[in-house]
Chains A and B, each alone.
Chain A
Amino acid sequence: MPGTAVRIRGLGKKFGSDFVLKGLDLDLEPGQSLAIVGPSGCGKTTLLRILAGLCPADEGEARVGPGQAVALVSQSLGLLPWKTVWGNLDLPLALADWPAPARVARVQAVLGDLGLAELAGRYPGQLSGGQRQRLALGRALVAQPDLLLLDEPFSALDALTREALGFHLARLWERLGLTMILATHSVEEAVFLGRVIVVMGGQPTTVRGIFQNPGSQTPQTLTADFFLDLVRRVRLALRETWAVTPHRVEV
């Protein structure tokens, strides 16, 4: 499947006898950024875990392009508390058996990219929420993945940190040219970070609407008319979805 970064066909996943996801179709080109927005409990995390190879699908397929390296930043971040910022960043390289000098250079580069250079010797328990988030993002990027999966990356942060990290991520995505899928329940975040926005919902969950965002990602974007208009349209689509999604509570 040349020219496709991700191909999802008739994807279904059930827990017990209930399908959480069913009949999901989606295609993603390389270098694209896709934002998945849907109510809590609709299956965003499940979809990302399937794409990351952490759990199998029950129906259909979710395929990542051949030779594409995938990295996931999970909702809980999964930082190892016994490793310093440096140690956490170095882990993927150690696991991939990179030679030591290349590892040092790469970790240093990522520390710089994410503004963590001063904090290299700290443990995750000594970082702020925003710093932990950046560390998790850095750890996902360090081994240079082709496809980056982000599960509600900013949901635990205050509004300002969230906005700053959003700009940071948008710039990184543009510069690195990687494919990105981001799950969120925030419409603004989805519209700002996704060139394609997919609204998910229903019982079981399926794709309820797809929107394109032609715009740029600058601080001005957040107040531009096209942005606000798109936010309004996505929100309306999400509201329709809400009506047909049972109000599941996340565990």
Chain B
Amino acid sequence: MPRVAAGLALLAFVGLWQTLALALGDQVLPTPAAVAADFWLRLGQPEFHRHLLASLWRGSAGFFLGLVTAIPLGWLMGRLKTLDAFLAPLLFLTYPVPKVLFLPVLLVTLGLGEAPKIILVAVTVGYQALVVTRDSALNLDPAHLEAFDSLCPPRKPPLAKALALTRHVLWPASLPAVLTAARLASGTAVSVLFMAESFATDLGLGYFIMDAWGNLDLPKMFSGILAMGLLGGMFYVMSVVAEKTWCPWVKA
């Protein structure tokens, strides 16, 4: 039933697109078939692959970097009161700021290479992940902490104990929320990537789209948009699959 509904929704979307395209003319909006044909063609072109791979690399690296930095920092903030007292005000003051505003700063400080683009995606994903990881670490069930404390041999060294707590309690307790944050951040991550790629570079889907727009090559532009959409969709689906496979107890 959900599959049928999804199929109908897709059909309705394509139908609406087709109607609009016919009404507006292909100088404004190409038909779904025209875009599909163009996209199919480009899938075989090395030129397109270069742009696609560049965006895929920046997006994945940014996602990874963001999560790998934010998760441990969130645990530390949630567990260490003094650290949190310093960092939490900073976090919540800067949280509402659209992360894309960091782009000019990153371009000035890090130059025009790969680093500012990857870091912008990392910051976008990282903020979301940081907030929820800190929350999970702050709101651990006291019964779980007490169980851990009473099961831990009294003579276990403090560092080994902290690592065990992270592995057996902190990590699984925050994982579902982190993956949900990653899922919600996937759309924003791709949109900041688009921004970062739309100037001062000649590589990536952002450039590809803006270049096609400049040349009024609408089917090409829409192929780029479709590819970027699929990139965001891929991050979304990966977060969903990761939650299903790594957090089987959530649905249990």
Q: Which residues of A contact B (CB under 8 A)?
A: 52-54, 69, 71-72, 74, 76-83, 91-92, 94-96, 123, 125-126, 139, 143
What total of chain B residues lie within 8 Å of the partner, measured CB to CB? 21
**Contact A123/B147 with A95-B152, A95-B153, A95-B164 known, Cβ cut-off 8 Å:** no
**Chain B positions 169-189 with a Cβ under 8 Å from a chain A Cβ:** 169, 172-173, 175
CA distance A114 to B143 in the complex (A): 23
Chain B 123-156 residues near chain A, CB threshold 8 A: 143-144, 146-147, 149-154, 156
Contacts A91-B168, A126-B252 given; indicate if A80 touches B149 (C-beta within 8 A): no
Give 9 closest A-B pairs by Cβ, nearest first: A78-B147, A82-B172, A76-B143, A123-B252, A78-B143, A123-B249, A92-B151, A125-B252, A72-B150
Chain B residues near A54 (CB, 8 Å)?
146, 149-150
* B217-252 interface (Cβ within 8 A of A): 247-249, 252
Seed contacts A52-B150, A82-B173, A95-B152; 11 additional CB < 8 Å A-B pairs? A71-B151, A74-B143, A74-B146, A76-B143, A78-B144, A80-B147, A80-B168, A80-B169, A83-B168, A95-B153, A95-B164
Q: How far is the CA of A83 from the CA of B249 in the complex (A)?
A: 8
Q: A78 to chain B: which residues have CB within 8 Å? A: 143-144, 146-147, 150
B169: which A residues are within 8 A, CB to CB?
80
Q: Is the CB of A81 within 8 A of B149?
A: no
A147 CB to nearest chain B CB (Å) = 12
23 A-B contact pairs sorted by A residue (CB < 8 Å): A53-B154, A54-B150, A71-B150, A74-B147, A74-B150, A76-B143, A77-B143, A77-B147, A78-B144, A78-B146, A78-B150, A79-B147, A80-B144, A80-B169, A80-B172, A82-B173, A82-B249, A91-B151, A95-B151, A95-B152, A95-B164, A95-B168, A125-B252
B151 to chain A: which residues have CB within 8 Å?
A: 71, 91-92, 95, 139, 143
Q: Which residues of B contact A52 (CB under 8 A)?
A: 150
Given A82-B173, A95-B156, A125:B249 Cβ within 8 A? yes
> Are A81 and B156 in contact, CB atoms less than 8 angstroms apart?
no
Output the least CB separation between A225 and chain B (Å).
Answer: 40
Could you tell me the distance between the alpha carbons of A208 and B18 in the complex, rounded to whole angstroms? 85
Name the distance in Å between A83's Cβ and chain B's nearest Cβ.
8
- A139-B150 Cα distance, complex, nearest whole Å: 11
Chain B positions within 8 Å of A71 at CB level: 150-151
Task: Report Cα–Cα, A162/B173, bound state, in Å.
Answer: 31
How distant is the Cα of A95 from the Cα of B147 in the complex, in angstroms?
12
Would you give the 0/1 interface string for B58-82, flagging 1 where the beta carbon is closer than 8 Å to chain A? Answer: 0000000000000000000000000
Q: How far is the CA of A53 from the CA of B149 in the complex (A)?
A: 9
B172 — nearest CB in chain A belongs to which residue?
A82
**Nearest CB on A from B75, distance (A):** 16
Interchain nearest-CB distance for B155 vs A (Å): 10
Could you tell me the distance between the alpha carbons of A72 and B150 in the complex, rounded to whole angstroms?
7
Q: How far is the CA of A126 from the CA of B147 in the complex (A)?
A: 20
A241 and B252 CA atoms in complex are apart in Å by: 45
How many Å lie between the Cα of A80 and that of B131 in the bound state? 23
In the bound complex, CA of A103 to CA of B252 (Å): 26
Query: Residue of B at shortest CB range from A95?
Result: B152
A157 to B252, CA, bound (A): 22
Chain A residue at minimum C-beta to C-beta distance from B173: A82
A102 shortest CB reach to chain B, Å? 15
Chain B residues, CB < 8 A from A82 = 172-173, 175, 247, 249
List the A side residues contacting B172 at CB < 8 Å. Answer: 80, 82-83
Least Cβ–Cβ distance between A104 and chain B, in angstroms: 18
A94 CA to B165 CA, complexed, in Å: 12
